[in-house]
Homo-oligomer: A and B are copies of this chain.
Amino acid sequence: MTEPTTDMSGLRRARQRTADILFSRDREDPWTQRFDVVLILMVALNVVAVILESVATIRADWGAYLHAFEMLSVVIFSVEYVLRIWSAVDNPWETKFRSPTRGRLRFARTPMAIIDLFAILPFYLGLLVPVDLRFLRVLRLLRIFKLTRYSGSMTLLFQVLRQEARTVGAAMFVLLLILVIASSLAFIVEGDAHPSGAFSSIPATMYWAVITMTTVGYGDVVPATALGKLLTAVMAIISVGMVALPAGILASGFSAALQRRRDEVEDRIEDALADGDLTAEEQAEIEDLVGRLNVSPADVRALMTATRRSAGLPCPHCGKSHWAAPWRGGPVRLYGVKSSGTTFGTS
The dominant DSSP class at the A interface is helix
Q: CB of A9 within 8 A of chain B?
A: no
Residues of chain B contacted by A180 (CB below 8 angstroms): 47, 51, 141, 144
Q: B201, A211: Cβ atoms under 8 Å?
A: no
The reply on A159 being an interface residue by CB < 8 A is: yes
Contact B138 A93 (CB under 8 A): no
Q: Would A138 and B255 count as touching, CB distance under 8 A?
A: no
A330 contacts across to B, CB distance below 8 A: 92-93
With A94-B336, A220-B219, A341-B163 known as contacts, the answer to whether A255 contacts B256 (CB < 8 A) is: yes
A34 within 8 A of B: no
Q: Is A260 an interface residue (CB 8 A)?
A: yes
Residue of B nearest to A268 (CB): B327
Q: With A and B bound together, what is the CA distance between A212 and B219 in angstroms?
A: 12
Asked whether A344 lies within 8 Å of B264 as measured between CB atoms, the reply is yes
Residues of B with C-beta under 8 A to A317: none
A248: chain B residues at CB < 8 Å are 244, 247-248, 250-252, 254
* Nearest-neighbor residue (CB-CB) of A340 within chain B: B159
Report the minimal beta-carbon distance from A121 to chain B, rounded to whole angstroms.
Answer: 17
- 3 shortest A-B CB distances, which residue pairs? A248-B251, A153-B170, A244-B247
